[in-house]
Amino acid sequence: MTQTRTAAFFDLDKTIIATSSAAAFSRPFFAGGLISRADVIRSAYAHFLFMAGGADADQTERLRAHLSSLVTGWDVETVSRIVAETLHDHIDPVVYAEAVELIEAHHERGHDVVVVSASGSELVEPIAAVLGADHTISSRMEVVDGLFTGQIDFYAYGENKAVALRELAEREGYDLAASYAYSDSVTDAPMLAAVGHAAAVNPDRTLRRLAEESGWDVLTFSRPVALRTGLSAATPLLAAAGVAAVAVVAWLVVRGLRRRRAVPGPQDRVRTP
């Protein structure tokens, strides 16, 4: 297949939104009876580590195992209803204006936009639909008889993100050398290295150093904006959100718990070929 199309791959947590998607839903899950008060406290601690970038691999694995166990047996329809009712309340206010503008700028240039996230597909796809994204890459959780089993079929994490990115590029005919990628996390280095134009968003010291060594751009996103006011009128909004239980698991599974900008143009910090 002749690869002539261009794509822009966006990480979700702390790149498109200013928080973690899992933490954003901890309160409605508690209110809906899916998690206990103790689980909320654990979620808050995990969120702190994630935002501070302070969790090591062992902590991440322990939290992953706990959360995988936590969602085992959750009813998919119940989770779907909770997320559908609360998606805009908990996600809209924390979307970075700079990310929304960059997504729109890529679309204006005819680029496909792909949201890539360690969170589960049941959460990522509704958020991506709100943003008008063309495709998603995300983790996949096993469901049997309408219930989450706690098993994870695919981790969209680390090298797996890059593998899925290349597979999507093959199917869709994307020229990765001409494509773009954006992420805040050093665990996404394989994804950033897979494209010709990579940018580290709000990077910590480790990712900033890697960006400098790799010739990647560094962007600062600092303006969370209500999504429905930040999107243009032409951008499709989500009518009904999908299931989101796996967001709680997948965020910690694979994240290591860890100004208006055109594309490309004279004010753009992303390099062109």
Sign of CA dihedral 121, 122, 125, 130: negative
Q: Which two tokens stand for residue 80?
A: 């779907």
Q: Rounded CA gap, 163 and 31, in Å?
A: 37
**Angle formed by the axes of helices 37-52 and 57-71, nearest 10°:** 150
Q: Rounded CA gap, 109 and 15, in Å?
A: 21
- 13 in catalytic set: yes
| Annotated catalytic residue, options 13, 112, 184, 188 | 13
Instruction: Give ∠ CA 216-220-224 in degrees, rounded to 5.
Output: 140
C-alpha torsion angle, residues 259, 262, 263, 268 (rounded to 10):
-60
Burial state string for 231-255 with b = 16 or more CB within 10 A and e = fewer than 16: beeebeebeebbbbbbbbbbbbbbb
| Annotated catalytic residue, options 11, 92, 184, 188 | 11
Whether the CB-CB separation of 36 and 30 falls below 8 Å is answered with yes
- 11 in catalytic set: yes
Q: Rounded CA gap, 47 and 53, in Å?
A: 10
Q: Which two tokens stand for residue 236?
A: 């499709």
Residue type at 32 in one-letter notation: G
Catalytic residues: 11, 13
